[in-house]
Structure 1
Amino acid sequence: MTTEHHRLNAPSATPPRIQALSLGAGVQSSALLLMSAHGLLPRLDYAAFADTGWERPETYAALDWLENEVAKPAGIEIVRLRAGDIRRDALDPNSRFSTMPMFIRNPNGSKGMLRRQCTSTYKIKILLAEARRRLGAEVFDDGRIGRVKRSLSLSMWVGISSDEFHRAKDSGVKYAVNEFPLLQLGLTRADTQAYLDQHGFAAVSKSACVGCPYTSNAGWRNLRDNHPVQWDEAVEFDRAIRAGNARANANGRPLLGQAFLHPSLLPLDQAPIDAPPKRRHLRLVGADEAVDWEDGDPDGCSPWACRTGRPEQPAGISEVAA
């Protein structure tokens, strides 16, 4: 790590950018925060956590620990951002809701998957808005944040390790340049987990909300067995979204099919989430690759690093997120 450390900290002829971290409180982003706090990486100016309003209990606990035990002693600001409450927005006919990638049983019996818009709305957009604010953009009375001067930009660190390099994506804007320090250092997820273990921070989970359809069977069992309040919320949410989100239904545009949180297309409290005697593999509907739906969450749901794939559009669905 030493050689790369020197390279990452090499003097630059241009003024240093603001160093920001997209913090999901999972393994990789937590390791980046610790490495910055310990001086192994440049000092972060701030770390931004985009809160969907329905994050997992482990995520909130990890975030609190990082803030109090790591960031504050190192003088690194953690800012918590929120664009809404994803659970409330789905169930409130008066709230806009950005579609979650729920599994669909189409009217003809075929399987499909809703378009994933939640990561953009509840995470990426507010992270970019905060970046513009930090770069001096105008903040309007209604809370909107204006444009950034063309010459300004910041570095947005994203926690992608070398074994997941295929998940690394550009930000899509010029004023926030995504950078991947773990890739530069050649560190794997196992390396970053070992680094966290060495510093007493072992209990982290992949970032995703309680009702994320990308949750594995193991993840659902953990919720059911260890977090009964959140499990009950997820079960009720699964029932409530069977015909789509509340606003679309109120506007006379119900889902032409049935939505489920589990790929079995069964109600969550009836879904086969208990560990099978032998490993079984499910192909995620519409995805490009087979994924193991029994073990750890397949990729989690981090900004610019949510799982990829091309979900099928359910029959008769044009837009359900208005």
Structure 2
Amino acid sequence: MIFADPGAETGATMDHLAWLEAEVTKRTNGRMLTLRVSNGSITETIERRAKGTVALRKDGQPSRFVSAPFFTENGGMGRRQCTREFKIEPITKQQRALLGYRPRQRIPVGSCEVWIGISTDEVTRASSATESWCVHRYPLLEQRMSRHDCEAWLQRNGYPVPPKSACVFCPYRSNLEWRWLKENDPAAWAEAVRIDDLIRQSPNMTHREYLHRDRVPLSEVDLRTDSQRNGQHSWLLECEGGCGL
């Protein structure tokens, strides 16, 4: 099993990953290998960009800043390169190494079968491999399992339900997910607010960037539901049904 660590996951996710690695080792008596791979930290990349400093590649040349799909004040979004650079590329590199091939060395077609845990809720994310030597399989889709089905299976078999994996500052979060993070993981919320502030400190920016689609600082976003904004939530909580209506 190969896991990519972009250096931006929540503490709960990393704790679950540590548990999973130990569980795999125990259940397989050490016969199944688990590997964590990394192409650096996207958090550190954002911090360097805010400071205007540039990291050097192994060849001594300056590395470029990775682009993430942050919301821009002109109504657009940045390019989504973070997934490829911090997840796909290090995993592909590790796959080549496990197969025994050097970089750019030709690998026979279909040499590697990769199982990816995408459920029916995210079927649009499933795709064919971009490398001819790699074949993608989606066991959860083959079993027609949704995220709810996976959670039910874990509970039936006595396993903890893992948190949804995503970078702390992933801009694709819904208001519900942002609200959950704020209420249940204060450390992760504080880190998201910090990163949200940092991405607007980068020098020579064409347009300011934001984590939230409202394009305001994350600490100022109104995360209430529609019913809460309209005052219905508090009425429902306070009403004891005694008025007869």
Q: Which runs of 5+ in 2 are unaligned?
A: 56-63, 231-245
Runs of 4+ that moved beyond 4 A:
none
CA distance in 1, matches of 2:79, 2:109: 35
| Identity within the alignment, % | 36
**Residue 90 (structure 1) shift:** 1.2
Give the residue type in structure 2 aligned to 1:119: T
1:171 maps to 129
Please state whether the residue corresponding to 1:113 is helix, strand or coil: coil
| Equivalent pair of 2:4/2:86 in contact (CA under 8 Å) | yes
Return closer, same or farther for 1:148/1:63 CA change in 2, 3 Å cut-off: farther
Residues 205 and 82 (structure 1), Cα distance of their counterparts in 2 relative to 1, 3 Å cut:
same
Q: 1:166 to 1:231 in 2, by over 3 A?
A: closer
Q: Which amino acid aligns with 2:123?
A: F
Contact map agreement 1:84 1:122 (CA 8 A) in 2: yes
One of 63, 66, 74 as aligned partner of 1:98: 66
Would the alpha carbon gap of residues 229 and 166 (structure 1) be closer, same or farther in structure 2, given more than 3 Å must change? closer
- Residues 128-277 of structure 1: pairs in structure 2 closer than 5 A: 128-138=92-102, 145-151=103-109, 153-242=111-200, 246=202, 249=203, 254-277=204-227
Deviation at 1:220? 2.0
Give the 5 Å matches for 1:104-143. 104-106=72-74, 111-138=75-102
Output the CA distance in 2 between the equivalents of 1:117 and 1:164.
19
CA contact (8 A) 2:151 2:161 kept: no
CA distance in 2, matches of 1:61, 1:97: 29
Greater percentage in helix: 2
Q: Following TM superposition, by how much is the alpha carbon of 1:152 offset from its aligned partner in structure 2, in angstroms?
A: 6.0
Deviation at 1:164, TM superposition (A): 3.4
SS at match of 1:77: coil
C-alpha deviation, 1:100, in angstroms: 1.2
Query: Matches of residues 239-318 of structure 1 in structure 2 within 5 Å?
Result: 239-242=197-200, 246=202, 249=203, 254-277=204-227
Letter in 2 for 1:236: R
Scaled by the length of structure 2, the TM-score of the pair is 0.80
Question: 1:151: Cα distance to partner?
Answer: 4.8
Structure 1 unmatched runs, 5+: 1-46, 139-144, 281-322
Shift, 1:127, TM fit: 0.8
Figure out how many residues of one structure are paired with residues of the other and give that number: 216
User: Aligned equivalents of 1:79 and 1:191: distance in 2?
Assistant: 27
Aligned with residue 82 of structure 1, among 35, 38, 50: 38
Aligned partner letter, 2:165: S
- Asked if structure 2 preserves the Cα contact closer than 8 Å seen for 1:157 and 1:181, the reply is yes
Q: Which residue of 2 aligns with 1:59?
A: 13
- Aligned CA-pair RMSD: 2.1
Q: Is the 8 A contact 2:69 2:79 kept in 1?
A: yes
Please give the alpha-carbon distance, in whole angstroms, between the structure 2 residues aligned to 1:97 and 1:241.
12
> Does structure 1 residue 73 correspond to structure 2 residue 41?
no
Q: Given residue 49 of structure 1, which amino acid in structure 2 is its aligned partner? A: F
Conservation of the 8 A alpha-carbon contact between 2:109 and 2:132: no
Deviations 1:166-190 (A, max 9, x none): 3211120012211111222222322
